[in-house]
Amino acid sequence: MKKLDRTKLWTLERYASERAAFRKQVIAHKQRRRLPLNAHTTLNFEDFLTMKYQVQEMLRVERIFEPDEIQAEINTYNPLIPDGDNWKATLMVEYPDVEERRRALAQLRNLERHVWTQAGKGARLYAVANEDLERSNEEKTAAVHFLRFQLTPAFVAALNRAAPLSFGIDHERMRCAVEAPAEVRSSLMEDLNR
């Protein structure tokens, strides 16, 4: 899986001219990589394109043009690009009402350690959560978590034999499971075949 480096980014001036078309491309791409697990949790699967967009936007907003600062942004976001044998996702926990969100996050401590994927009837693989920084504490979990689904050869082989792909949560306060729609499955399979 390719990673970002300075040669794969546009200058601020070039990005200004490319931004509208690129943004439209990325929004369409992200739709194929978004998987709601229930009314309050969504997995957004990251890849080279989503992270290129994130870095370009950060450089634009912060007006970053110094080489060391650009490299720092690349170093921050490259770990969120899949490596060819895993998927990387942002888990969003969303409640529109602030008070409801506060209560829910307090009840969902360690939710991120209960997110799984499954190929057919095979064993569930649990995501590795927040490798960069712990996001749960004694009082609550965070509304955003970064996950890595490290896939086994048997898991990938089952997917290559057209096994259904499912994701879910088995936290005592939130249980859900969904089968990935064809467009999400297809997009994630591309991550394994690069």
Assess whether pLDDT exceeds 80 at residue 136. no
Q: How far are the Cα atoms of 22, 34, 111 from residue 181, in angstroms, in the given order?
A: 25, 10, 23
- Encode pLDDT of 51-82 as tens digits: 999 999 999 999 999 999 999 999 999 999 99
Does 135 lie in the same domain as 62? no
- The CB density around residue 20, as the number of other CB atoms within 10 Å, is 9
Assess whether pLDDT exceeds 90 at residue 132. no
Q: Which domain holds residue 60?
A: 6-31+48-80
Element (H, E) at 145: strand 144-150
Does 156 lie in the same domain as 122? yes
Strands ordered across the beta sheet of 128-129:
34-36, 41-46, 86-93, 144-150, 128-129
Assess whether pLDDT exceeds 60 at residue 188. yes
Assess whether pLDDT exceeds 70 at residue 135. no
Assess whether pLDDT exceeds 60 at residue 194. no
Cα separation, 34 vs 161, whole angstroms: 23
Tally the domains of the chain. 2
Does 110 lie in the same domain as 62? no
Does 120 lie in the same domain as 105? yes
The average pLDDT across 172-183 equals 97
Return the pLDDT at 3: 95
- Select from 80, 104, 137 the last residue of a domain: 80
In a domain, 37, yes or no: no
- Encode pLDDT of 137-167 as tens digits: 778 889 999 999 999 999 999 999 999 999 9
Return the pLDDT at 144: 93
Does 56 lie in the same domain as 112? no
Task: Look at the block and give the residue holding tokens 């008070």.
Answer: 99
In a domain, 154, yes or no: yes
